[in-house]
Amino acid sequence: MRFCTPRPVRRGLARGLLLLLPLAGRAEALVPEDCAEPASECALAEAARQAGAFVGAAISNPELPAERATIPRDFNGITAENAMKWGSLAPAVGRYDFERSDAIADFAVANDLRLRGHTLLWRDQLPADLEAVVEASPDPASKLRQLIEEHLSTVVPRYREAVSVWDVVNEPLDTFTGELDRQTLFGRTLGEAYLDEAFRRVHELDPDAQLVLNEFFFDYDLASPLGQKARGFVDLVQRLLDRGVPVHGVGVQAHFGLPAIGPLPTRAQFEGFLRTLAGIGVAIELTELDVSLKWFLGEPDPLAAQADFYGEIVGACMAVAACTAVTTWGIDDSRTWLDSFPPFDLAAPQEPLLFDGSLEPKPAYFAVRDALAAREGVFHERAARLVTAFDEALAAGDLKGREAPLRWTRNALGRAGLRLAGGHYRAACDRLDRAGRLLGDRRPGVGSAQVVRGRGTAGLAERVRALGVALDCGNRRFTEDGVAR
């Protein structure tokens, strides 16, 4: 994978939150609640952090009540729903007004949020006179190139600190065929070359930013006739990579509004599409997720059915290692583009988001949280960190004990890591349990019975936590190294 780890994340907030936890003089108090525990009350953003992932929302104004109530508690990432589109930044060519976009960028920096820059080149929401200016030129292609260059070199450096990810190009494909859309100003004037040029230039302007190609789909089944757009997208990304274009990631918008063409995808179809994308070597994220409640009105409990579908979609992302972020297109049901944007407005109210209009979390909120918390593999990474932390603690003289038991403990940790890598959670737990015992933790309730009763990963988390406590001085290291991140 080219860029599986997003640009270095400012970890200040996570550390700050840890410090706020009641310490009560006990090392284990440094370890926040494990979001994979069945009765966990973790907020969404904490579940994302523990999964090594991001959960974001599209926002319009950081000062609005929904934004203030839910960020950063629930979202550790944001996207400007409109404010960073070319036509929002410059209603007329070259006449920039950064007031609203700067407010969002400042908010992201102040709250340690991953900001997705959305979007540099898109067929819609352009400066009102852009097309006319280009068409009036004797050489429209050169004129458009010049204007794109001015736009990129104005905007990208301005947000170098704030923006981690750029949607460099949005929706380049024809709505149905999966061919390059040649109706758009960019496609018809410059052909596919505009993608190559834009990605290369943005990479020069901000070499640290993750560069994403963002697109929407009606059908995620690569084998079906309607899957031709998804197939066209895979082919396009592959062509760009073959030409050495710096495309680091792809954004799958994941709008599930109504009216729609075709049914909702199955989990297997959706996950299969993500796996195909991961297989060609790009990072993946779901960039604009929303799911109309209207799909489920025939169900006995529509909100529960909506939650189940949300859980499947986010679960699919979490099952694919290259999929590291999920952004919902809005925060609460009182403000959703689906209720005002044709043709979706026909089906208003669509109630597609994680919070209701009173900012109460819906069942979908908890389904997404649980899907994030259930991410497997993170525990494997944690076990690997345990070994490192153990070695560091030993080297620093923090671990007391006779040489042989310490060596056995380290071996047990190493074997636990191997078993985790193979997905053998219970066996790994036994090893961790053994390591915990060797390290002298004989408290009641830390026995393997819990592992058997637990959900595998949840039981393992208990083991990891017990180890953290047992290691005493090492516990703080674990925390900083990500066990309890």
Task: For ligand XIL, give the closer residue by CB, 352 or 436.
Answer: 352
What number of chain residues touch ligand XIL (CB under 6 A)? 7
Which residue type is seen at 369? Answer: R
What is the number of H-type helices and E-type strands within the chain? 19, 9
The phi and psi torsions of 94 (rounded to 5 degrees) equal: 80, -10
Task: For ligand XIL, give the closer residue by CB, 123 or 275.
Answer: 123
Among 46, 206, 271, 288, binds ligand XIL (CB under 6 A): 288
Decide if residue 170 touches ligand XIL (CB under 6 A). Answer: yes
What would the DSSP string read from start to end of 348-365?
-----SSB-TTSPBPHHH
Decide if residue 341 touches ligand XIL (CB under 6 A). Answer: yes
Q: Which long-range contacts does 15-23 make (Cβ < 8 Å, 24+ apart)?
A: 15/480, 17/46, 18/479, 18/484
454-473 residues in contact with ligand XIL (CB under 6 A) are none
Angle at 330 (CA atoms; ends 326, 333), nearest 5 degrees = 125
Task: For ligand XIL, give the closer residue by CB, 201 or 255.
Answer: 255
Task: For ligand XIL, give the closer residue by CB, 46 or 67.
Answer: 67
Decide if residue 334 touches ligand XIL (CB under 6 A). Answer: no
Decide if residue 101 touches ligand XIL (CB under 6 A). Answer: no
Decide if residue 253 touches ligand XIL (CB under 6 A). Answer: yes
Which residue type is seen at 165? Answer: V
Decide if residue 61 touches ligand XIL (CB under 6 A). Answer: no
Estimate the crossing angle of helix 457-470 against helix 378-395, to 10 degrees: 10
User: Which single residue brings its beta carbon nearest to ligand XIL?
Assistant: 337
Decide if residue 337 touches ligand XIL (CB under 6 A). Answer: yes
Task: For ligand XIL, give the closer residue by CB, 82 or 411.
Answer: 82
The minimum distance between CB 31 and ligand XIL, in angstroms, equals 39
Terminal-residue alpha carbon distance, the chain: 24
187-246 residues in contact with ligand XIL (CB under 6 A) are none
| Cα 180 off chain centre by | 27
Each residue 289-328 as x (binds ligand XIL by CB under 6 A) or -, in order, gives ----------------------------------------
Cis ω on the peptide bond leading into residue 32 (within 30° of 0)? Answer: no
Task: For ligand XIL, give the closer residue by CB, 124 or 161.
Answer: 124
The minimum distance between CB 81 and ligand XIL, in angstroms, equals 5
The minimum distance between CB 214 and ligand XIL, in angstroms, equals 6
CA gap 242, 223 in Å, rounded: 23
Decide if residue 259 touches ligand XIL (CB under 6 A). Answer: no
Q: Which residues are catalytic?
A: 171, 288
- 126 to 58, 89, 184: CA distances (angstroms): 19, 9, 11
Partnered with residue 92 across adjacent β-strands are 95
Measured on CA atoms in the order 361, 366, 371, 374, is the torsion positive or negative?
positive
Which residue type is seen at 387? Answer: V
Q: Which residues make up the interface to ligand XIL (CB under 6 A)?
A: 81-82, 170, 253, 288, 337, 341
